[in-house]
Amino acid sequence: MRSFNAGDVVYLLLAARWTVLLSLIAFAGGGLVGLIIALMRVAQARAARWFAIGFIRVFQGTPLLLQLFLVFFGGDLIGVPLGAWLSVILGLSLNAGAFLGEIWRGSIQAVPNGQIEAARALGLHYGQRMLRVVAPQALRTAIPPTVGFLVNLIKSTSLAAIIGFVELTRAGQQLNNATFRPFLIFGLVASVYFVMCWPLTIAASRLERRLALAYKR
Amino acid sequence: MNYIFHFGDMWNARGEFVEGALMTLRLSGLAMVASLVIAILGALARTSGPKPLRMLVAAYVEIIRNTPFLVQIFIIFFGLPTVGLRLDANEGALIALILNGSAYTIEIVRAGIENISQGQIEGALALGLHRLQTFRLVVLPQALRIIVPPLGSQFILLMLNSSVCSAISADELTSAALDVQGRTFRAFEAFIVAAAIYFALSLLFSTAFATIERLAFGKRISR
C-alpha cells in the first residue's frame, strides 16, 4: 500500500486518452456499420430488411458486456486471436452500429416519401437519391440523437476495463488496488467521464430543442 | 474453422444458468420497483419542489447519466465499506442499480408530468377540483400514457445493464457464465448460452409490456 500522489492524477489523465481514442474509433466503426444497417433497414429487398432487423434486435437485446466477451473469445475460436484492443473496437463498433442504424433509419424514414418519388421521377438513381435528396434532410434530424448516443458510447468504453484493456476505468482500478482510496480515485475517474460527456449531453438537448422549433414553424 | 462446439457442459451447468437468470431478474425487478418509487418523489421534487431541491435532483440526474455504470458500481462497492458500511456483492449491485436506474426513471416520470399543459391544471382548478383531484383525475391518467411505455424499455435496459454487476461478482447471469467458463474452459459456449437467455428475457418482457400497453391504453402509443 502506498499513498495517492499527484503523479497518479497524471496517470489517470493519460489513461483517459485511451478512452477518447477508443470512443472515436468505435464511433467511426459504429458509424460505418450503422450506415450499412440503416440502408439495409430501408432497402427494397426483404432479405436485407430482415437481416438489419435481426442485427438490431440481437445487439439491442443482449448485454454489451457479453457481446464484448463473445467477440474476444470468438476470435480465438476461429483461430484469429484479436486481443483486448481489437475485440473491444470490433465489439463496440458492432453494438454502436445497431443503435446508430436504428437512429438513422428513423431519420431516413422521416424524409417525406414524395421527395424520393420526385427524385426517382427526375431520373436520379439510388446513390444520387440517397446522397443528394435524402441525406441532407435526414442529417438534420439525425444529429441530435447521434450526439446523445455518443455519450452512451463514451460510457460504454469503460467495459473495456473488464476485458483487461487499460483505459480510464482500468487505470482507476489499478490505482485503487495500490492505494486503496476508492472514493477519491473513482470519484476522479467519474469526473473525467463527466467532463467528456456532459458537454455532449447539453449539446444534444440544445440541438434537439432547436430542431423541434424548426419543425413547429 | 476446426473448433468443435460442446454444449454438453452447458447442459450440465443448467442449474447455475437458471439460478443466475433468477438473480438477474430479482436484482432488476427490485431495482426497477425501488427506482420507480424514488423517481416519482424525485420527479415531483424536480418539477414542483423548492429551488435548491430542484437543483439537487437535477445535479443527481446529470451526474449519474454522464458517468459509466461500472464506475458507479466501483464507487459504491469499494467506497461504502471504507466509511464502515459492509456490503456483499449482491447488495452493492442492487444499490448501484437503484441509484443508476432512478436517474433515468426520474427523467421519464418528469417528461410525463411536464407534458400536461398548465392550462389543463388551471382549468381543473377553475372547475372546482381540489389539488389532489386534479392530480388524480386530470394529470395522472394522461401522464401514465406517456410514462408507461418508456418504463418498459427502461426495465429491459436495466436488466441488460445488470450484467456489468459481474465485475464485482454479484451472483447474476453473467457471473454464472463466467464461473461455468472458468470451470469448463468453454468460453464461447458459456457466453452464447448467457446471451441467449438475456435475449429471450428481453423479447419476453418487450412482448409482455407491449401487450399490457395495448390492454391498458387501447391502441399502442408510438414512442
CB contact under 8 Å between B71 and A201, yes or no, is no
Q: With 70 as the cut, is the pLDDT of residue B2 above it?
A: no
Would you state the pLDDT for residue B28? Answer: 96
Distance CA A104, CA B21 (A): 33
Render A52-86 in DSSP notation, one character per residue: HHHHHHHHHHS-HHHHHHHHHHHHHHTT---HHHH
From CA A34, how far away is CA A203, in angstroms rounded? Answer: 22
Q: Is any Cβ of chain B less than 8 angstroms from the Cβ of A156?
A: yes
pLDDT of A3 over the 90 cut: no
Q: What is the mean pLDDT of residues A142-146?
A: 95
Model pLDDT, residue B185: 86
ipTM of this complex: 0.92
B78 → closest Cβ in A63, A64, A176: A176
Q: What pLDDT sits at residue B48?
A: 83
Residues in chain A: 217
What pLDDT score does A55 carry?
A: 97
Break chain A into its structural domains and give their ranges: 6-216
B201 → chain A, closest CA residue: A61
Determine contact: A1 vs chain B, CB below 8 A: no
pLDDT of residue A82: 86
Q: Do B68 and A62 touch (CB under 8 A)?
A: no
Q: Evaluate if residue B104 carries a pLDDT over 90.
A: yes
Does the domain at A6-216 match CATH 3.60.15.10? Answer given as no
Contacts of B122 (CB under 8 A, 6+ apart): none
Q: Which CATH architecture has domain B16-217?
A: Orthogonal Bundle (1.10)
The pLDDT tens digits for A69-108 are 999 988 888 888 888 889 999 999 999 999 999 999 999 9
Task: Say yes or no for a CB contact (<8 Å) between B70 and A169.
Answer: yes
Residues of B at the A interface, defined by Cβ within 8 angstroms: 1-3, 62-63, 65-72, 74-75, 78-79, 82, 156, 160-164, 166-167, 174, 177, 187-188, 191-192, 194-195, 198-199, 202-203
Listed as own residue / partner, the contacts of B89-94 with beta carbons closer than 8 Å and 24 or more positions apart are B89/B165, B89/B168, B89/B169, B89/B170, B89/B171, B90/B23, B90/B27, B90/B170, B90/B171, B92/B165, B92/B168, B92/B170, B93/B27, B93/B162, B93/B165, B93/B168, B93/B170, B93/B172, B94/B27, B94/B30, B94/B31
Q: Which three cell numbers stand for residue A124?
A: 436520379
Which pLDDT belongs to residue A217? 60
How far apart are the CA of A128 and the nearest CA of chain B, in angstroms? Answer: 31
- Does the pLDDT at position A12 exceed 90? yes
A159 → closest Cβ in B3, B164, B188: B164
Considering chain B, what is the average pLDDT of its residues? 91
Q: What is the mean pLDDT of residues A111-131?
A: 92
B219: pLDDT confidence band, cut at 50, 70 and 90? low
CA A199 vs. chain centroid, Å, equals 16
Question: Using CA of residue B138, residue B140, residue B142, residue B143, what is the dihedral sign?
Answer: positive
Residue in B67, B164, B199 closest to A190 by CB: B67
pLDDT in tens, B145-168: 889 999 999 999 999 999 999 999
Give which of A186, A198, A208, A209 to mutate to test B binding, by max B Cβ within 10 Å.
A186
Q: Is the pLDDT of residue A150 over 70?
A: yes
What is d(CA B180, CA A72) in angstroms, rounded to the nearest whole number?
17
Chain pair A-B, CB pairs under 8 angstroms? 117
Instruction: Say yes or no to pLDDT of B223 above 50.
Output: no
**Would you list the domain boundaries of chain B?**
16-217
- Contacts from B213-216 at CB under 8 Å and sequence distance 24+? B213/B148, B213/B149, B213/B152, B216/B148
Report, as an integer, the average pLDDT of A2-15: 89
Confidence check: pLDDT of A16 > 50? yes
Query: How far, in Å, are A22, A50, B47, B48, B126 from residue B54 at the CA level?
Result: 35, 46, 7, 8, 27
More confidently predicted of B120 and B200: B200
Q: What are the CA-CA distances from residue A101 to residues A146, B137, B154 (Å)?
A: 10, 40, 20
What is residue B10's predicted lDDT score, i.e. its pLDDT? 85
- Predicted confidence at residue B58, as pLDDT, reads 96
Contacts of residues A168-171 at CB distance under 8 Å and 24 or more positions apart, as own/partner, are A168/A12, A168/A15, A168/A16, A168/A18, A168/A19, A168/A192, A168/A193, A169/A19, A169/B68, A169/B70, A169/B71, A169/B74, A170/A15, A171/A11, A171/A12, A171/A14, A171/A15
